[in-house]
Amino acid sequence: MDKLSQLLGRHAFHARVFFNGDFCDANRFRQNGMSGHLHLVRRGPVEFVHEDGELIRANEPSLVFYPRGMSHLLRIPAGHSASLLCADIVFEEGVANPLARLLPDCMHMPLSETPGLGATLEMLFGEAAAEAPGRELVLDRLCDVLLVQLMRREFDSGRLSPGLLAGLADRQLSLALAAIHERPQEPWTLQSLATVACMSRAAFAEHFRNVVGVPPGEYLSRWRIALGGRLLRQGMPVKLVSAQTGFTSPSTFTRAFTTRMGTSPRGWLKQAA
């Protein structure tokens, strides 16, 4: 399996289209820690205003994607209307998902600059204009395909490096990353991961940080917490989650989860619901 398919297969996401049509007002999107936002502008003008004051104007057909759901205001200038298709992008482990963390806060590109996405966009907009049975399901699936193609475009261009994609593309680091992903319950140490990667301890630590962007221990901790969130959402009790994610006790997992996510597992589940 190629590296991109390996990554996307492990870090599943799915799209849920929530708006499709003409719009002439404004809507504010708040970061919720669970989903990203995809906006396809079929006809502008549309303005996207960020909390730091940055303004993106989409006067032509464009794609604007907030992988981690950064807060923003979508508004249509007075006297105009626009045609939009908007979707929530839900990652299995929320926006702490390694795939979501790889991408920039905001991706903006005119559709004229995305020739590799043309066929999918044509199908997507054609389906959006139809009134056929099952349209909502087809739109969701086409948005999934569009995002995979967008990831491929970013991967091919090298804009995702350093990060997990770069790590998976590295012959030695990919061995350690696969071990972490497949056996998070093992008591991994810097030395044991270096051994898996067939590198010395010092060389592995430096190379991992340079390529992936965080130290091995930090990545391992993030992965375990993200996996723990996924298992919690599946209804697994904290005691079993802590064992399957490599923590020595439920209380140790709870403390680590609370520190990373800003709330306890119970509180996080309530927010997710």
Tokens coding 214: 């965080």
CA distances, 107 to each of 37, 64, 66, 69, 70 (Å): 11, 6, 6, 11, 11
List the chain domain ranges: 3-157, 164-272
| pLDDT surpasses 80 at 103 | no
> According to the model, what pLDDT value does residue 195 have?
96
* CATH number of this structure's domain 3-157, picked from the four choices 2.60.120.10, 3.40.50.300, 1.10.3720.10, 3.40.1650.10: 2.60.120.10
User: Do 33 and 162 contact (CB within 8 A), yes or no?
Assistant: no
- Mean pLDDT over all residues of the chain? 86
CA distance 37 to 28: 12
* pTM for the full predicted model: 0.63
CATH number belonging to the domain at 164-272, selected among 1.10.287.1770, 1.10.10.60, 3.40.1080.10, 2.40.50.180: 1.10.10.60
What are the two backbone dihedrals, phi and then psi, of residue 13, each rounded to the nearest 5 degrees?
-145, 165
3-class secondary structure, 247: coil
Task: Say if residue 233's pLDDT is above 90.
Answer: no
Strand pairing category for 35-43 and 82-91: antiparallel
CA distance 81 to 183: 52
Answer whether 68's CB lies under 8 Å from 31's CB. yes
Report the alpha-carbon angle 174-179-181, nearest 5.
90
User: Counting Cβ atoms within 10 Å, is residue 52 exposed (0-12), middle (13-18) or buried (19+)?
Assistant: exposed
Place of tokens 């006297």: 79
pLDDT of residue 94: 66
The DSSP-derived string for 57-104 is EE-SSEEEEETT---EEEE--TT--EEEEEEEEEETTGGGSHHHHHS-
Instruction: List, for residues 246-261, the tens digit of each pLDDT value.
Output: 998 999 999 999 988 8
Q: Is 60 exceeded by the pLDDT of residue 160?
A: no
